[in-house]
Chain A
Amino acid sequence: QQPVQSPQAVILREGEDAVINCSSSKALYSVHWYRQKHGEAPVFLMILLKGGEQKGHDKISASFNEKKQQSSLYLTASQLSYSGTYFCIEGGSNYKLTFGKGTLLTVNP
């Protein structure tokens, strides 16, 4: 059962903020966030392991709620380079990853 992401797509103007949400019906061992540009491999953004954890670098950050069933990715002051598909991923046993369907983010000038 894959994590559920919302929204499915979002269009921003450069400099605007966005939030991508991810939810699961069960507590997750870990949640991973990756970004993928068309035709390329997914690129690691961050992992959250603990309930209540918040993590971030530059203008991209993420949170993991106490019950470990919801995570959100925050993109502030978006840049053109932020465009791509963002995946929320459940990390499971043996480190197997279960990808969500992704959120297509488009940042326009």
Chain B
Amino acid sequence: EPEVTQTPSHQVTQMGQEVILRCVPISNHLYFYWYRQILGQKVEFLVSFYNNEISEKSEIFDDQFSVERPDGSNFTLKIRSTKLEDSAMYFCASNLDREPRAFFGQGTRLTVV
């Protein structure tokens, strides 16, 4: 089965630093997403991206966050000036056009210290 790949698997950063989480969606997929799961809580939608622009974002996705698809294969989530409460598992997902099933990456565990 095709896979969504995320790197790194675990990132530790100091409060106030910037981090970039990377994702390689499945090659022919057109819709891309970031989700976040704080330890022990539910998975929360952050942002969706289609046709090289954000199609929807949640209230969590404020100016601290940005997404980019810099080269046609990678899909990145940048978190500026990280806070302790940004510590979470971040999942990337992608969809084919007209196909509702999402394919999830294995996640990046971000720990802000």
List the interface of chain A (C-beta within 8 A of B).
Answer: 2, 29-30, 32, 39-42, 44, 47, 49, 87, 91, 93-102
Contact among B31, B43, B109 for A99, CB-based, below 8 A: B43
Q: CA separation between A29 and B95, bound complex, in Å? A: 16
Given A40-B106, A41-B106, CB of A96 within 8 Å of CB of B56: yes
Interface residues of B in 33-52 (CB under 8 A from A): 33, 35, 42-45, 48, 50
Chain A min CB distance to B2 (Å): 12
Q: CA separation between A96 and B34, bound complex, in Å? A: 10
Contacts of A30 in B (CB 8 A): 100
B25 CB-CB contact with A under 8 Å:
no
Contacts of B45 in A (CB 8 A): 96-99
Please tell me if the beta carbons of B48 and A96 are within 8 angstroms of each other in the complex: yes
Other contacts beyond A29-B100, A41-B105, A95-B102: 14, CB < 8 A: A40-B107, A42-B43, A44-B101, A87-B43, A91-B100, A95-B31, A96-B48, A96-B56, A97-B33, A97-B93, A99-B35, A99-B42, A99-B44, A101-B42
Contacts of B100 in A (CB 8 A): 29-30, 32, 47, 49, 91, 95
